[in-house]
Each structure stands twice: as C-alpha cells, then as structure tokens.
Chain A
Amino acid sequence: MKGLTFLLRQMAPYKGRILLALLLSALTISSHIGLMATAAYLLARAALHPAVMDLMQVIVGVRFFGIARAVFRYCERYVSHDVTFRILSRIRVSVYEAIEPLAPARLMFIKSGDLLSRIVGDVEIQKDLYLRVLAPPLVAFLVLLGFGLFLAPFDRRMPLILAALFLIGGVGIPFIIKALGQRAGERKLKEKVQLQIQTLDLIQGMTELLSFGQEAVYLEKFQATQKSYSLAQRSYARLSGLSGAALGMVSNLGMWLVLVLGITLVRQGKLDGVYLGMLALGVLSSFEAIQALPMSLQNLEENRAAADRLWELKELKPEVEETFPALSSSYTWDSSPCLEISHLSFRYTKNDPYVLKNLSFEVPLKGKLGIVGPSGAGKSSLVNLFLRYWDYHEGSIKLGGKELKSLNSEEVRQLLGVVTQKTHLFNATVKENLLLAKPQATDKELYEACRKAKIHDYILSLPQGYESMIGEEGLKLSGGQRQRLAIARVILKDAPILILDEATTGLDPVTERDVMQEMLNLMKNRTVLVISHHLPIVQNLDEIVVINEGEIVEQGTHQELLNAGKLYTRLWERADIFKSWEYVL
C-alpha cells in the first residue's frame, strides 16, 4: 500500500491538470452520447413532419456534438500526455534522489542480476499510471454521474439501471474474470519461465549439447514445454476472451432494459414516444465509459507492485553517513598527500567474514605502491574504502595525515583520480564524456589530455571528431579506447592521488603495454596505488604488497619478492603468461 501512497504523492502537484484531463475525457465520451441521442431525437421529431425551422435547434445540436467529440479528444490527448510526462519526470527525479546516496554500496547487496534495469522498468511502467489506471474508473464515474442526472427526470429507474450495469460490466465481471483467470495466469507464467530456462540452456549450452550429442534430446524437451505453455495460453485466452464478449453483452442489455422500460412508460403516458430512441441509443453509447475498466484493474496490480519495489529503495539507509562538513576552502592539501593504513580490518556486514585483516602499510608522498594477490584476496574492498563507498570501523586510514572517516566524502573523491576496470562512458559525445571530469575545461585542455592518453589522433579521425556520439548506438569503442578515454578523464581531473584498480584487465596485451606506459608517465609526480592480479604491471613499482585472504603476506620490491620464493613467486609461476604473448613482441 505504501507504493500507492508514494504514487499519489507524486501526482499531487498536478491535480489541476489531472482534473482537466479527466473532464476532457468525460466530455469526449459525452459528445458521443450526445451525438447519438440528439440524432435519434432529430429523426423522431422529423417523423412528425414539423416545419424545418422548428428542427434547426436540434440540427445545430447534432452538428455540434459531431464536431465536439473530435475537438475534446484532441485536447484530452494533449493534456493527458502532458500530465503523464510530468508525473514520470517527478517519479524519476525522486527515485534518483533515493538511489544516489545508496550507490554503489547498498545496491550491491540487493541481489538481482539487473537491478538498475528493473528500477528503470518500474519507473517506466508508471507511464500507464494516469492513462490506464487512474483515469478509466474516474471517467466512468463522471460519465455515470452526468448522464445519470440527464436520465433521472425521465424516470428514476433509468439511472439505477445504468449504474447497476456499469457496476456489473465495469467492476463485477472484470473481478470475476480476474479471479477465475488467476490460476491460468499463474500457470502461464510458470510455463513461460520454464520455457525461458530451456531456451537459455539450448543456446548458451550449445557447445556442451553438441559435444555430447544431446541437442535432439534437449530440443524435444523444449518442445514438450512449449506444448504445455500453449495449453496454458489457450485456457487463459478462453477466459480473457470472456471479458470483451461480456462487456458487449452488458452494454446491449442496458440498451434493451431501457427500451423495455421506455415502452412501458410510453404506454402509461409517462413518456413521450419521441424520446424513446434517444434514451435507448444514448444509454448504449454511454457504455464506452467502462470499456477501459478491465484493463485498468489489470494495470493497477502491476503499477502497484512496481511502486512498492520503488518504495523499498526509498526506505534503504545509505551505507556511509556524512557527519562531517567539508574542510574550509582555505585548507590546502600537500601537492600529493600520502596514505597511511594501520591495523585496518573490514567486513561488509556483521555476519560476514573479514575481507581485510589487520592491514598496515604506507604509501609515502609521491610513492608508488603495487598491491597484488589472487582473486578474492580483498584488493577491491580496499578501493571501496578509499573512495568512501563503505565506512571502516577498525583501524585507520589517513590521508595526508587526516583520518579518512572524518572527511567529507565528496572532498575525498576530489583528491583521487581513479581508473577502474569498469569505466562507464555515458551515451553522449566524446567531448561531453570528457567534460565530466572538469566541466569548465577548454577545448585546448581536452586536446592536451587526449594527446597524453594517446587517443587524440583517433578521435580526430572520426567523422565528427570530439562531437561523435559514443555508447549504445554511437561508436563501439574497443576496451583499449575506453580505458584511454578513462585515462584522459583522470588527466583532466588532475588529482594528486592516483588509484589504478585492475585498470588494464580485459585489454589485449599490446594495448595493455601501451596503456601502462601512458600511466607511468602520468604517475611521475603523484602518489600512486596500483592494484592488479596481473603481475607484469606492478614489477617496476617502488614497493609491492602481496595480499592473500585479507592479510599481508609479503612486502618488498619485485626482486626481493622473487628471491624470497614465497606466494609472489608462486603467483608468477602459475600466471597465465601465455595470454600476454605480445608483451614482448
């Protein structure tokens, strides 16, 4: 229910526009009622052969309704789309505001393969919120009210008939069908999931299936599942087909009842026969108002579920609490502050094992340190702490002599230039992606950074140069080009501390060597931390720390460690060296 409240709150600022849209919607339907009713009335009057002049008023009425419907529909479309876009925009902003402080720490714990796409989907589905959830019942109510008031003077029972059938056709039958269809719907969904899994098995496991000669067996299995999926679809279709048929029946029944009632009234002399056709056709037309109700019921469920999930996000607390204000702007950091880590232990939650255990090491001013170790040793957790994505509670990390915890996290990040394996490039131009690092940068500065990152010439070779779009539909950049852009960003940022976290993983060896060379140039006057499980990258650094299972097991220069013949040497021997064949070629 909280989800619904959340949605209503997002709509509240637009209640004027929503009201207008509803009114226009009701008027659109009313015009249709009006057209058919006045037209029937016109014919009835004309059948009595009056002077044409006497009919003029009615004729004008018919023409008016004939035109009004189209005009109302047009305005309604416009206003309701405007409302839809506004609501969506507000929801988007409010969801973003909820997620921003959570990222990335809290988001990692919500176990779902594609959390972000799901969030976007949950927001996007709210495009139906006004048009397909909220509007249909309200419009039906407005029409019922308005047309009921019109009918009442003829006979009190007419609005009652109308209301009863609106209820049966718009609420009763959809609910019954939904209840009946529940089982079939669930079965359909279950079979579909099964089908999906088997398709995944067939496609992603094809190498195995072919090599074991099992492809025919799996294809048969798939077909059997597809057969039962079809069966489920059939029984579902039989039920959902009832919906349309029942609605048609109910509207005609309404017309029929009013007709019978009208005939009795005419006989009793309580109703002038001239109105008979008008009332019957008017009632028939009014059922347009409940056409969308079954759909609205269905969508309500989906929109509510999506809103509930969004609400859950809003209730999460951020991982790191910002308790400290930024340092005064007059404070100046050393040109390249040092990092001191002492007795640092860390685990993600109280129930998890420690991923870092009692670590102590130091990166001196302008020093260059490498951290290596097998996968799962805790290297990336360390970066998460430096970036203040998580808070540590045991031991200390000092940045330029100040305890990291006591610093404002925005401020910390300003000091760090980070290149990670996963560099996100936005769907925007090359230039815009670079400007992220320094919005006020001049073109000259951009070119200079790109020259240093050895990507300038490539960018110029593109037809649109720095204005080329990158991302999904734009240029497909290779891994090396992406990393170079990431480096150019870091150059632009010009931060005193540089952290390279598996920055070259996934690059082919030739590129890896090139990129590494560029980084070495960049490193000259900075404090540098290089984290990698790929050893050749760290061998020329001042010092190397070897971590295994969260602990420091060795420390020293490349030669010292090789001579020691312990884990570092073993890592070298086991290294998948033939992957980096081109390294020397």
Chain B
Amino acid sequence: MPFFRISARIMGASWRINITEQRTQLANRIKETLFLELGDEDMIDKRLLHESRRVSNFLMITIGLGVAIAGLAVVQARAFSHIVAEVFLQGAMLPQVWNSLMWILGILVVRGIVQWFSEVTAHEAAIRIKENLRERFLKTLIQLGPLYARGERAGELVNTAIEGIEALEDYFARYLPQLALAGLIPLFILFYVFPLDYESGMILLLTGPLIPVFMMLIGKLAEKKSLQQWRALSWMSAHFLDMLQGLATLKVFGRSQDQARVIGRVSDSFRRTTLSVLRIAFLSALVLEFMATISTALVAVALGLRLVYGKISFEEALFLLVIAPEFYQPLRNLGLQFHASLSGVNAANRIYEVLNQVENLEGDVLHQEMESNMSITGIPKDLTLSFKQVSLVYAAKEAPALDDLSFDVRSGERVALVGPSGAGKSSAFSLLMRFIEPTKGEILISGIPLGQFPPAQWRSHIAYLSQQPYLFSGTIEENIRLARPEALDSEVKEAAQKAAAHDFIVSFPQGYQTLVGEGGASLSGGQAQRIAIARAFLKNASLLLLDEATEGLDAESESVIQNSLTELMAGRTVLMIAHRMNTVCQADRILVLDQGKIVETGSHQELVQQQGLYSRFVQEYRGVTE
C-alpha cells in the first residue's frame, strides 16, 4: 500500500483561521487514516516465500545456526548453574569449578563466532535474492518495452529497481529467519525444560503462549502499531512538503507568513490525536513485555517454593531460571522485525506488479520473436513501407489509437504526419519500431509482413530521432558510438561534423571524452538533439523516423538543426511527425491524421488548394485572410 499517498488523503488545508471546525475535521481525518483497515495479510508473503526457495540452503544454515546458538545458551546455563551451586552449597573453590568456567569462556567465544556466521549467511541469502530479482525486473521491463516505462512511471520504476528491491534485505536477512526461530527455539527450550521440571514447563507453555495464538496476537498488533507510527510521521512530512512546494503560491496570496504558526498548530493537534491512538496501540508492547517478564517471575517463585520443600535441586532450579528468558527472546525479536516484514511486502507489491505483467502480454513481441526466428529474408536497402488496415487498441474500453489505417511510403519518399495530439502519430511510430504489435491488420516491408523479421534485425534498418533524445551516462563519444559500436574514430567525428555537433564538442576541455548524462555535464536541448542526429548519421540506416522537437530550442540551434536534418533526410525514406510549417513544407506528401484515421493527404500546395481542414487550419492560424 502506498502509504505516502494515503497520508495525503488526510491532509488538511490550514490557512483558514476557523480553528475549531478545522480541528475536528483534521482530527477525524487523522483517525480515519490511522485506523484504516489493514487488510488481512498473512504473516508470510507467498510470493516472497517462493523467492526464498532459491536460497533455501543459506536460510536453512542461518536458521540452523540460530538454533545452535540457543543450544549453546542451554549448555552455558548448565555450566553456570553448576558452578554457582558448587560454590554456594558445596563450598567449592576456584580450581574445582575451573573446568566449568573454561567451558563458559569457550562457549561465549564459539557463540560469538556462530552468531557472526549466521549474520553472514543471512545477508548472503538476501544478496542473492536481490541480484536475481533485479535482473528479472529489468529484463521484464525491456520485454515490456519503452511504452510501458515512459513518462512519470520511469522514475518510479528506477526507484523500485534500486530502493524497492533493497528494502527486501531485512525481510530475507532478518524477518524470515527470525520467523522460523520464533517457532523453533521455544519448542527447543521446552524440550529441555519438561523432562527436568514439569511444572515450570507448564508455566512457560500456558503463560507464554500457546505459541501460535501469541504470535498472531503480536502479529496483528505489532504490525498495526508500527504501521500507525509510520503513517503518523509520513503524514506530517507530506503536509510539510506540500506547504514548501506551495510556498510561491502562498506568497502570491499573502498567506505564507501565517503558515509557520499553522504548521506548528497542525503538528500539535496531530501529535495529540496520534498519541491518543498510539496509547492504545502501545498496549500490544505492554502485553508482550508483561507476558515475558511476569512468567519469568512466576517460574522463579514456583521454583523457590519447591526448593524450600526440597522438591527440586538448587542447580536445576537456577538452570531453569536462566533459560526461561531464552524462551521468550525469539518472540520479542520477531516483534522488532515487523517493520521489515511490512516494508518487504510493500516493496514486493511494487516489484510483482511489473514481473506479473509479462504473463499478461498478449500478441506481444515475445511470442513474435519466437516465430520470427524462422525468417531469414534480408531487408532491401530501398525498402517500401505499407500499412494495411492497421488498427491499434491499447486498452479494451478505450477508443482505438489507430483505426483501419492504410497508406504506402515509396522508397526515398518523405512523408509528414500531421494532426492533433492523440491522432495516432506516435502510435504509428511505436508500431514501426515494434514496441507494440497491431491489434488488427499488418505492416508490410517491401511486401513482407513486418512480423516475420526479428525485431532487432528490423530495427537495425531504422534511425529513430525522438523529441527528447536520451543521453547515457558516459562520454560524448560513447553516446554517439551507441549507434554503431564498431565505428572508427574518424567515422564518429564525421558524423558529429555532419550533425553540426563537432564544434561545440571540441569546445569542451575534454572534447569527445566529456562526460555527459547522469552525473556528467548537462547539455542544452539543442546540443542533445545534435548528438542524437550524429547517432543517426553514424547508423546510416535507410529508414528515418523523425519526431520533431518543439520546445526548449533557442533560435540559433533551431536553424542549425534544421540544416543538419535536411542533410540527414537526403537519400533516405523518411517518416516524420512534424510540428512546424517549414518542416511540413519539405515533405513530399502530408498525411493528415485525426482520431486514428487519415482525413486528408497530399503535398502542402495540394492541401492548401483542396480548401479542406488543412488549409482552413493554416489560414486561420496565421490570421491571414487571402
């Protein structure tokens, strides 16, 4: 569950000075959110448990070592009670108990080592699972293609791939082993206690838990408690961020100075409400603590009384006293790990949302890839393109993005796609790039269905220039070379010269070795465009798909880019999504698209003469009445 979002729901506006009304409203919102139902999640997330099979050996070792530690604790308790009894009751001196003392010393060293090992194996399990999940996550994303990972979602996906998967660390390294130990160790302890002293065993069994019942109790309560604390804090942070983000707006309306007081007031009323909720939630900690300590006390008192009547030996009684807390320790530790469980399940939801997508793919690239391997047909350099009654529907209930679209592009022809946003221009490009497959109809390349070529082979014939080209973290040279890694240095330079990028590149101190992208120098929109054009030159593909950049270019780079593009188009088949009049004028033919259909077609001159939509649009926009 995305808590930060839930927290936003209770966010209150705070500039209104009508305090009483606002306060009750605020308090209600807080209570609503804190008591929001938790959903009946199991203690173990099935998907994550399934993942853990991959590293079951490491987890088993971790759990085994955990039990071994408990075993060592039992031995140590034995030695300890023996020593104390000997010295206290038998008047033994140091040499007589020296052996046992050495035992304790040995055990405490071994115990430390075993504990260290168990931590290392636990982390190893987590590291392996994280590696595996990350790899699958990214592979899945690549299979889903750029249409899935575009826009705002991209940032979210990066976050899930890194931080989301990282959040599983504690789930696998701590929570899962602890869950097993919380079941095993108490049983193990009982196994020692019962033969020795039936009564103490019964006290442990009854006061402590009927273990599963007790676990469920902490499970639900502890989960709820840590959830509430977490929500409480994220609620305030979200409110604070909202105010900071809106500072300029607050200033315009002259409300910004009041806000300090308001933030304090909201914080205060929030604290009061939250504490009144936590007051109840903390009871779970009280119960847990109470059960553990009072039963130790009960065991001690019962043992003491029986000692008085000589029904049990001092040594055995002391031994039982020492190991009684060990019985509860794993349960208390588990309580500490609930946050890990919670954030683990949270992260899992985000991860599997993506991983499960692959199962939902239909008629997708993956299947096509299998079939297409059979084809060995080459693609001619002077290819022709035709859309045959192509329809594309993204989601079942939505209007089709492309509706029975048919058109041909001759070899060497320049075709401009024009039309309102949502008319289907980008969808046509996505189909051509094979980021998605048509719902109906087919695309023919020189008469051969596109689906018969392996996507990678087909894409090697296309140079695609996007509106906002992406620069990878690395040098400028690497970024250009991406188009053809084996290219010679001279070829890279030549491509950059043709793209009018060479001059600005060598003006950097490091020239072609200048680092760009994330963590490198930031290039202007125009410079990034020119790098992308250099890539296209270097690739030297016969088909050019051009999505014209519209904004963020200064006047100077615009004309430079225009010139390089004109050179790039020469001798190639070009399909462009055009936004500017002078680009459109360069096209041999213009396809006017609207709602997935072609409504008009022809050259600029022809379309203007047709007196159709196109000409009306151009004229009215220009404000010229001829």
What would be 20 A-B contacts, judged by CB atoms less than 8 Å apart?
A: A36-B296, A42-B301, A69-B289, A78-B282, A85-B271, A100-B257, A100-B259, A197-B517, A198-B473, A201-B517, A203-B154, A204-B149, A237-B123, A248-B115, A263-B83, A273-B88, A410-B254, A422-B248, A472-B4, A539-B623
- Hey, which chain B residues are within 8 Å of A8, CB to CB? none
Supposing A222-B138, A245-B119, A577-B621 touch, asked if A473 and B6 sit within 8 A by C-beta, the answer is yes
Minimum CB–CB distance for B626 against chain A, Å:
13
Q: CA A266 – CA B263 in complex, angstroms?
A: 63
- Hey, which chain B residues are within 8 Å of A252, CB to CB? 76, 104, 108, 111
Q: Which residue of the partner chain, among A205, A233, A264, A432, contacts B12 with CB atoms under 8 Å? A: A432
Q: CA A19 – CA B45 in complex, angstroms?
A: 41
* A432 near B13: Cβ-Cβ < 8 Å: yes
* A62 near B297: Cβ-Cβ < 8 Å: yes
- Hey, which chain B residues are within 8 Å of A281, CB to CB? 321-322
Q: CA A486 – CA B310 in complex, angstroms?
A: 86
Minimum CB–CB distance for A313 against chain B, Å:
11
Q: CA A96 – CA B325 in complex, angstroms?
A: 48
Given contacts A123-B240, A237-B124, A578-B581, 7 further A-B pairs with CB under 8 A are A63-B297, A99-B247, A212-B539, A241-B116, A273-B91, A573-B582, A578-B578
- Hey, which chain A residues are within 8 Å of B620, CB to CB? 583-584
A580 within 8 A of B: yes
* B308 near A52: Cβ-Cβ < 8 Å: yes
B376 within 8 A of A: no
A-contacting residues, B2-16, CB 8 Å: 4-9, 11-13, 15-16
- Hey, which chain A residues are within 8 Å of B482, CB to CB? 208-209, 212, 214
* B318 near A43: Cβ-Cβ < 8 Å: yes
* B300 near A280: Cβ-Cβ < 8 Å: no
* B286 near A574: Cβ-Cβ < 8 Å: no
A112 within 8 A of B: no
Q: Which of A178-186, A335-343, A412-420, A519-527 contacts B (4 or more CB under 8 A)?
A: A412-420
* B421 near A579: Cβ-Cβ < 8 Å: yes
B-contacting residues, A416-450, CB 8 Å: 416, 418, 422-424, 426-429, 432-433, 435-437, 439
* B579 near A67: Cβ-Cβ < 8 Å: no
Per CB-CB distance, the 7 closest pairs between chain A and chain B, nearest first, are: A66-B297, A432-B13, A89-B267, A241-B119, A428-B13, A39-B300, A576-B579
* A233 near B123: Cβ-Cβ < 8 Å: yes
* A230 near B88: Cβ-Cβ < 8 Å: no
Supposing A52-B308, A256-B101, A375-B552 touch, asked if A581 and B303 sit within 8 A by C-beta, the answer is no
B38 within 8 A of A: no
* A242 near B116: Cβ-Cβ < 8 Å: yes
Q: CA A84 – CA B423 in complex, angstroms?
A: 55
A-contacting residues, B341-373, CB 8 Å: none
A97 within 8 A of B: yes
Q: Which of B214-222, B390-398, B458-466 contacts A (4 or more CB under 8 A)?
A: B458-466
- Hey, which chain B residues are within 8 Å of A255, CB to CB? 80
* A427 near B87: Cβ-Cβ < 8 Å: no
- Interface of A, secondary structure class, is helix
B570 within 8 A of A: no
A516 within 8 A of B: no
- Hey, which chain A residues are within 8 Å of B517, CB to CB? 197, 201
Q: Nearest residue in A to B267 (C-beta to C-beta)? A: A89
Q: Nearest residue in A to B282 (C-beta to C-beta)? A: A77
B-contacting residues, A63-119, CB 8 Å: 63, 65-67, 69-71, 73-74, 77-78, 81-82, 85-86, 88-90, 92-93, 96-97, 99-100, 103-104, 116-117, 119
Q: CA A413 – CA B248 in complex, angstroms?
A: 11
Binary CB contact string for chain A from 553 to 582 against chain B (1 if under 8 A, 0 otherwise)? 000001000100000000011111111111
* B17 near A78: Cβ-Cβ < 8 Å: no
* A124 near B286: Cβ-Cβ < 8 Å: no
A149 within 8 A of B: no
Supposing A508-B421, A577-B621 touch, asked if A43 and B97 sit within 8 A by C-beta, the answer is no
B449 within 8 A of A: no
B162 within 8 A of A: yes
A-contacting residues, B512-538, CB 8 Å: 517-519, 535
Interface centre among A46, A233, A238 (most CB of B within 10 A): A46
Q: Which of B127-135, B179-187, B188-196, B400-408 contacts A (4 or more CB under 8 A)?
A: B127-135
Q: Nearest residue in B to A573 (C-beta to C-beta)? A: B581
Q: Nearest residue in B to A102 (C-beta to C-beta)? A: B247
A517 within 8 A of B: no
B331 within 8 A of A: no
Interface centre among B93, B119, B305, B462 (most CB of A within 10 A): B119
* A120 near B248: Cβ-Cβ < 8 Å: no
Interface residues on A, range: 35 or more
Supposing A120-B241, A426-B11 touch, asked if A206 and B145 sit within 8 A by C-beta, the answer is yes
Binary CB contact string for chain A from 220 to 249 against chain B (1 if under 8 A, 0 otherwise)? 001100110010011001101110111011
Supposing A47-B88, A202-B141, A206-B145 touch, asked if A473 and B8 sit within 8 A by C-beta, the answer is yes
B374 within 8 A of A: no
Q: Nearest residue in A to B89 (C-beta to C-beta)? A: A47
B113 within 8 A of A: yes
* B88 near A116: Cβ-Cβ < 8 Å: no
Supposing A103-B247, A245-B113 touch, asked if A85 and B298 sit within 8 A by C-beta, the answer is no
A-contacting residues, B196-252, CB 8 Å: 229, 233, 236-252
- Hey, which chain B residues are within 8 Å of A217, CB to CB? 485
* B550 near A579: Cβ-Cβ < 8 Å: yes
* B241 near A116: Cβ-Cβ < 8 Å: yes
- Hey, which chain A residues are within 8 Å of B240, CB to CB? 92, 96, 120, 123
Interface centre among B229, B249, B460 (most CB of A within 10 A): B249
* A575 near B233: Cβ-Cβ < 8 Å: no
* B621 near A207: Cβ-Cβ < 8 Å: no
* A100 near B6: Cβ-Cβ < 8 Å: no
A463 within 8 A of B: no
Q: CA A93 – CA B247 in complex, angstroms?
A: 14
B488 within 8 A of A: no
Q: Nearest residue in A to B538 (C-beta to C-beta)? A: A212
Q: Which residue of the partner chain, among B237, B256, B420, B580, contacts A124 with CB atoms under 8 Å? A: B237
* B464 near A211: Cβ-Cβ < 8 Å: yes
Q: CA A66 – CA B616 in complex, angstroms?
A: 89
A-contacting residues, B571-602, CB 8 Å: 578-582, 584
Minimum CB–CB distance for A22 against chain B, Å:
18
Q: CA A327 – CA B132 in complex, angstroms?
A: 68
A391 within 8 A of B: no
Minimum CB–CB distance for A190 against chain B, Å:
12
A-contacting residues, B92-126, CB 8 Å: 93-94, 97, 101, 104-105, 108-109, 111-113, 115-116, 119-120, 123-124
Q: Which residue of the partner chain, among B237, B260, B307, contacts A100 with CB atoms under 8 Å? A: B260
Q: Which residue of the partner chain, among A67, A78, A237, A432, contacts B275 with CB atoms under 8 Å? A: A78
